[in-house]
Chains A and B, each alone.
Chain A
Amino acid sequence: MAYTNELRTRLTQTLEELSAAGLSKDERYIRSAQGVEIEVEYPLGSAPRRVLNFCANNYLGLASHPRVVEAARRGLDERGYGMSSVRFICGTQDSHNELEQRLAEFLGMPEAILFASCFDANAAFFEVFFGREDVIISDRLIHASLIDGIRLCEAQRDTYKNSDTAHLEKKLQMWKDKARSICVVTDGVFSMDGMIAPLDRIAELCEQYGALLVVDDSHATGFIGRTGRGTHEHHNVMDRVDVITTTLGKALGGASGGLVAGPPEIVSLLRNRGRPYLFSNAVPPAVIYGALEVMEMLTEGTALRDTLEANAAHFRRRMEAAGFTLVQGESPIVPVMFGDARLAADMARSMLDEGIYVIGFSHPVVPMGKARIRVQLSASHTTEQIDHCVEAFIRCGEKHGVIKKDVGAGS
């Protein structure tokens, strides 16, 4: 072996640069199950503290829901711990197939195929269907996993400004006679600002120019739209999106797993050619059983997503009344804007002292000068907990001079 001095020095230097720029990612240990109330050990080595969690993707509060945990336990008992195989050798149980069908049905798509994660789903997709003769036109703010997926294929690439459909149309016009097929890619809900993509207009443009429409709905599946089907339901284009990729790792229980849902040929070809599908282990039985229970709960009614929607609206209303600047929107992702990176980080630290767990985001995750705290609501938050969070924001905001005293805390 030869872990050379040259390499070691280079890595040390990179780590030091990250640290100096304040970009090191230090992890906080959670000493409890995931949920709205968690125990955090921070700084490391200190006694765990109970805090309210406002930064998980646990939108429907199912990460530790008794029904989901119980179902997962049943999965363990009935089908064991692991599969020790990729799907096509001996890694497919009937329940894998059942879950794929339930997910496709829920999304209103013909078929679905499961991956170990949505990152894998996005990494698998493009390479299978597109080559040099094709072009992929993507929104400039799509998720890193889509970017990597597009990089893995040889298609030509172009982009349009975030959710700017006039710019997208310009691109479609430009490429329409220059490519065998055109694929348009967007997130349904953008994770850093919670904005919902204008999928109605995008779908229309894709039809007009004959482009395949691929939507990553990871931050929407289960709660956006009247019955929580996602962004396509929200914009009333349920039957006008060709392909949806999404995750089981957020609203749908938050364990792990991702999928591609779409036409039968697309799904079948992914089973035959998708590299992360062919060369990575099958999702374990406990996760499959848990996810099946989640699907059961979501088809019983819309109570969870309704509560989430009300929680987000309540939080937005109170924060605005208190004088904070939010990115407007309808999703449970609510960015509270501070601009300055250090201010956002200081605010997040003060919030933790107040018992509220939130995280500041700054460049390069978000544009320079647009640092923020991204608050994520959950259906499991009570109104009292949300009020507690808002009041902590007000106290910290006054302390750091973000808002003036006595602006009033709203309703």
Chain B
Amino acid sequence: MSGELREKIIQFIHDEYVDDGTEVDDNTPLISSGLVDSFSMVSLKLYLEQEFEIEIDDDEASTEEFETVSRIQSLVSRKLQERH
């Protein structure tokens, strides 16, 4: 599951934000590098909520939590656990 989760997140980030072939992996800085700006973060949050049927509060959708794929993956995993 966690492998699949990771793949989906990376795929989405590629499709949604990358337009110059930049490679994104677990620890690529997303927010601080400017790849994902504060306006664009919304679509990432919406995607995660819809795709994984979770709810992320606005104060949880912080720039720290969204900084890397690995952080996002922990956030989503935690939400999935809370749901069960």
Indicate, yes or no, whether A interacts with B: yes
Report A's interface with B, CB cutoff 8 A.
138, 140, 147, 150, 156-159, 161-162, 164, 171, 174, 364, 367
Q: Is the CB of B39 within 8 A of A157?
A: yes
Minimum CB distance partner of A175 in chain B: B46
Closest chain A CB from B48 CB (angstroms): 14
CB pair A158–B43 under 8 Å, yes or no, is: yes
9 pairs of A and B residues whose beta carbons are closest in the complex: A157-B39, A159-B40, A159-B39, A158-B42, A158-B43, A161-B19, A157-B42, A156-B42, A138-B39
Contact of A171 (CB < 8 Å), options: B20, B34, B43? B43
List residues of chain B with CB within 8 A of the CB of A158.
Answer: 39-40, 42-43
Asked whether A364 lies within 8 Å of B40 as measured between CB atoms, the reply is no
Contact residues on B (Cβ < 8 Å of other chain), bracket: under 10
Chain B contact surface mostly: loop
Give Cα distance in the complex from A159 to B37, angstroms: 9
Given known contacts A161-B19, A364-B34, A367-B20, A150 and B39 CB-to-CB distance under 8 angstroms: yes
User: Which residues of chain B are within 8 angstroms of A171 by Cβ–Cβ distance?
Assistant: 43
Check if A147 sits within 8 Å of B39, measured CB to CB: yes
Residues in chain A near residue B19, CB distance under 8 A: 161-162, 164
In the complex, which of the residues B19, B37, B43 has the most CB atoms of chain A within 10 Å of its own CB atom?
B43
Contacts of B42 in A (CB 8 A): 156-158
A-B contact pairs, 24 of them (CB 8 A): A138-B39, A140-B37, A140-B39, A140-B40, A147-B39, A150-B39, A156-B42, A157-B39, A157-B42, A158-B39, A158-B40, A158-B42, A158-B43, A159-B37, A159-B39, A159-B40, A159-B43, A161-B19, A162-B19, A164-B19, A171-B43, A174-B46, A364-B34, A367-B20
Residue in chain A with minimal CB distance to B43? A158
Find chain B residues with CB under 8 A from A157 CB. 39, 42
Name the residue on B nearest A142 (C-beta): B39
In the complex, what residue of chain A is closest to B19 when comparing beta carbons?
A161
Q: Which of chain A's residues have a CB closer than 8 A to the CB of B43?
A: 158-159, 171
